[in-house]
């Protein structure tokens, strides 16, 4: 295939635009924040599970406290009832029985109040643990929201860049022969497409060509489209090629 040196040099612009497009597409598909966002998502799931367990434990303590408070209310009601009956009775036997029951109720209320204090302390600790875990989750959510916003900005920027690159590429290839563009696109499927040949080196694969290959390039006409014998990309020869 033949193409003028100017047309071949234009392929370097196309190759550069394609490299930029690949980078932009990579950023659009997987922004730099994606890995950390995935980590935070997994962390948030684990943290939410821990929060549920802590909430369940706190609810159990609350239920235990409610039962104790109910028991205290029942014991206090019995104490008040028995005290009223004791004040009203004139029967010594009944009075003795009521005094024994009041003594038992006093002991029962003392034990219940001690248990209440213990459960209230445990409830305070459970609430503190729940609040601490919620703070951890809030921090995770805040970082996730910040990174998600940054990722969206990266995606938007990459999308805009891809659109501009597409317009620039269309303008460049629009001035080139269709056959040359088709050949470049075919070559670009398995290599960098086109690369500068300078000082005996293919800039596409960074390989230094052998003496035999260099001689073949020297013998090729300037308008001949040649390929790198190593990577297959189109070698664009200029005054810097050292041929």
For residue 124, tell me if it sits in a domain. yes
Give yes or no: residues 22 and 55 share one domain: no
Give yes or no: residues 13 and 64 share one domain: no
Per-residue model confidence as pLDDT tens digits over 137-182: 999 999 999 999 999 999 999 999 999 999 999 999 999 999 999 9
For residue 59, tell me if it sits in a domain. yes
Whether this model's pTM surpasses 0.75: no
pLDDT of residue 243: 66
pLDDT of residue 133: 97
For residue 163, tell me if it sits in a domain. no
Give yes or no: residues 105 and 189 share one domain: no
Mean pLDDT estimate for the chain: 94
pLDDT of residue 91: 85
Give yes or no: residues 18 and 33 share one domain: no
Structural domain boundaries enclosing 147:
29-157
Cα four-point dihedral sign 9, 10, 11, 12: positive
Give yes or no: residues 96 and 140 share one domain: yes
Helices (H) and strands (E) in the chain, counts: 5, 4
Check residues 211 and 124 and name the one with the higher pLDDT: 124
Give yes or no: residues 19 and 35 share one domain: no
Give yes or no: residues 123 and 66 share one domain: yes
Q: Give the number of domains in the chain.
A: 2
Give yes or no: residues 20 and 34 share one domain: no
Of 147, 159, 234, nearest in space to 192 by CA: 234
Per-residue model confidence as pLDDT tens digits over 41-62: 999 999 999 999 999 999 999 9
Burial of 11 (0-12, 13-18, 19+ CB in 10 A): buried
Q: Mean pLDDT over residues 91-111, rounded?
A: 89
User: Which residue, chain included where needed, has tokens 């090629």?
Assistant: 241
Rounded CA separation 144/142 (Å):
5
Of 112, 111, 136, nearest in space to 51 by CA: 136
Distance between first and last Cα of the chain: 20
Q: Mean pLDDT over residues 70-98, rounded?
A: 88
- Asked whether the predicted pLDDT for residue 116 surpasses 70, the reply is yes
Query: C-alpha angle with apex 102: 97 to 107, nearest 5 degrees?
Result: 130
Distances (CA, A) of 186 to 191, 202, 234: 9, 19, 11
- Asked whether the predicted pLDDT for residue 88 surpasses 90, the reply is no
Give yes or no: residues 213 and 144 share one domain: no
For residue 167, tell me if it sits in a domain. no
Q: For 205-221, what is the HEC assignment?
A: CCCECCHHHHHHHHHCC
Identify the CATH number of the domain in which residue 120 sits. Answer: 1.10.287
Rounded CA separation 173/226 (Å):
19
Residue 198's φ and ψ, nearest 5 degrees, are -140, 135
- Asked whether the predicted pLDDT for residue 95 surpasses 90, the reply is no
Give yes or no: residues 93 and 212 share one domain: no
Give yes or no: residues 82 and 137 share one domain: yes
pLDDT of residue 228: 93
Rounded CA separation 151/30 (Å):
9
Q: Mean pLDDT over residues 195-212, rounded?
A: 91
pLDDT of residue 92: 83
Contact 159, 200 (CB under 8 A): no
Give yes or no: residues 201 and 123 share one domain: no
Domain boundary pick from 157, 184, 211: 157
Check residues 141 and 199 and name the one with the higher pLDDT: 141
């Amino acid at each position: 295939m033949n193409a003028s040196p100017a047309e071949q040099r234009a392929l370097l612009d196309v190759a550069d635009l394609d490299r930029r497009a690949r980078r932009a597409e990579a950023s659009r598909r997987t922004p730099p924040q994606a890995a950390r966002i995935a980590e935070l998502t997994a962390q948030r799931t684990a943290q939410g599970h821990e929060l549920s367990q802590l909430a369940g434990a706190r609810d159990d303590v609350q239920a235990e406290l409610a039962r104790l408070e109910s028991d205290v209310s029942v014991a206090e009601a019995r104490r008040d009832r028995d005290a009223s009956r004791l004040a009203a009775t004139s029967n010594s036997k009944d009075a003795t029985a009521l005094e024994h029951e009041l003594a038992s109720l006093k002991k029962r209320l003392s034990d219940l109040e001690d248990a209440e204090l213990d459960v209230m302390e445990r409830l305070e600790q459970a609430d503190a643990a729940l609040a601490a875990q919620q703070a951890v989750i809030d921090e995770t959510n805040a970082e996730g929201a910040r990174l998600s916003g940054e990722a969206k900005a990266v995606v938007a920027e990459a999308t805009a860049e891809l659109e501009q690159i597409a317009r620039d590429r269309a303008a460049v290839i629009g001035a080139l022969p269709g056959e040359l563009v088709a050949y470049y696109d075919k070559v670009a499927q398995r290599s960098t497409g086109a690369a500068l040949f300078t000082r005996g080196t293919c800039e596409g694969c960074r390989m230094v060509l052998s003496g035999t290959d260099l001689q073949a390039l020297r013998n090729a006409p300037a308008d001949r489209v040649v390929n790198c014998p190593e990577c297959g990309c189109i070698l664009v020869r200029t005054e810097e090629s050292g041929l």
